Amino acid sequence: ALTLPKPRTESNRTLSEWISILMQLQDKEEEEKREVILAAWSSLNHRERFIFNKIITGGFRVGVSQKLMTRALAKATGIDENILAHRMMGNWSPADTNFEDLILREQADERISRPYPFYLAYALDISYEDLGSSQQWQAEYKWDGIRGQLICRKGQIFLWSRGEDLLTDRFPEISALAGKMPDGSVIDGELLPYKDGSVLTFQNLQTRIGRKNLSRKMLENCPVILMAYDLLEYRGEDIRQQTLVKRRRLLENIIRPFEGDVLRLSPTIDFESWPELDEIRKMARKQNKSEGVMLKRTSSPYQVGRKKGDWWKWKIDPLTIDAVLLYAQQGHGRRANLFTDYTFAVWNGDQLVPFAKAYSGLTDKEFLEITKYVRGNTLERFGPVRSVKPNLVFEIAFEGIQASTRHKSGVALRFPRMLRWRKDKHPREANTIDDLKAMLHTFG
């Protein structure tokens, strides 16, 4: 852009006009493309050429999440994030709309789509005996899916995630409830992959996350339900300050006509004592692929944000395996001078097979000690990555395991992290690939 001669003419074309011209060049001959580009350069100043060159080379595109873009637009325009998310939903393109119509102009139905703030539970950090009588609490499974809020107002359906992403278009099974649910209803629940009477794994759900275009095969392989566990609005009235018992009773009335379909009621767990519930909790992963249990005080209102006292999540212990450190890479930010990103391996006979990467779970002192080891025991370098002498053993914790054709080990772990450095273990005492496969058979 700076090395080209000064422009001979001046252009008053808009950005959208230039994009339209470039789109038409896709099927043209090389000579015609060349003529258009040279003509453009001769009419644009150096700043305009810079943008033009970025567009024609594909370098203008910057990866930004929809959530971040929505937040930035909210800050720039002063419009609420939820309203902007609603305005940008659906299939639109810059070719058939403009900024004013899409972003600045109020839409007739955006007010009816607004969700309520989610109520978030704390992890149980006290003894269950300190909770008092178990009869004062409702227990249900902590489902491993996407937290969602289903809104039905004026015959329309809106599905919001906890991260305030509008998901209606991505889950046609749920949007099909439009016109069927009672008007003025807002349900809090969990989007779960569900097939043949069983909840599938979160990894199954990941195959649908982020995809705008869903094939028939994908919908058949991974159908989704909403497991409903709370009711925030009933017949257009905000009922969040009513007790959990009352809200649950009204929720049951709404769900009853749909039970067994895409909308299901999250079952409560019958238990007589805390020790009995503890045993149920420990079996949650094997029972229905859930993460543990939720405890909700029966007299509690539906509050805003994360509050202690009335809602607790009592998760199961993570799966663990002992592994050998094989590769190390420097971290980022304040850890840029330390080797904090590791690749771990398990034994397959006499060979170490990589199976997981992790970068969290240790103290700064431990990271410093490992960094010294890496620098003194490097075998090879592959760009920023170093292979090291396989002498250090770590206990790796993770939330789930599934088969994977992309990984040499044949498995992929969910949320792997370092639980502790096993200085007491010799590398040959680390687990094997057969141990991972056994876990896959049990929990995959």
Name the residues annotated as catalytic.
142
Q: Which of 192, 216, 189 is nearest to 203 (CA)?
A: 192
β partners of residue 194: 199
DSSP designation for 374 = H
Q: Which of 38, 46, 48 is nearest to 12 (CA)?
A: 48
DSSP H/E element including 287: helix 284-288
In terms of DSSP bridges, do strands 156-161 and 146-153 run parallel, antiparallel, or are they unpaired?
A: antiparallel
Place of tokens 């060979």: 351
Residue type, 111: R
CA 218 to chain centre: 19
SS3 call for 313:
strand
DSSP string across 206-268: HTTTT-SS--HHHHHHS-EEEEEEEEEEETTEE-TTS-HHHHHHHHHHHHGGGTTSSEEEPPB
SS3 call for 168:
helix
Task: Return d(Cα 304, Cα 238) in angstroms, integer.
Answer: 13
Beta-carbon contacts of residue 176 (< 8 Å; ≥ 6 apart): 262
DSSP string across 31-60: HHHHHHHHHHHTTS-HHHHHHHHHHHHTTT
Instruction: Find out whether 410 and 417 touch, Cβ atoms under 8 Å.
Output: no
Q: Where are the alpha helices (DSSP H) in 112-208?
A: 172-175, 202-206
DSSP designation for 180 = T
Instruction: Find out whether 225 and 194 touch, Cβ atoms under 8 Å.
Output: yes
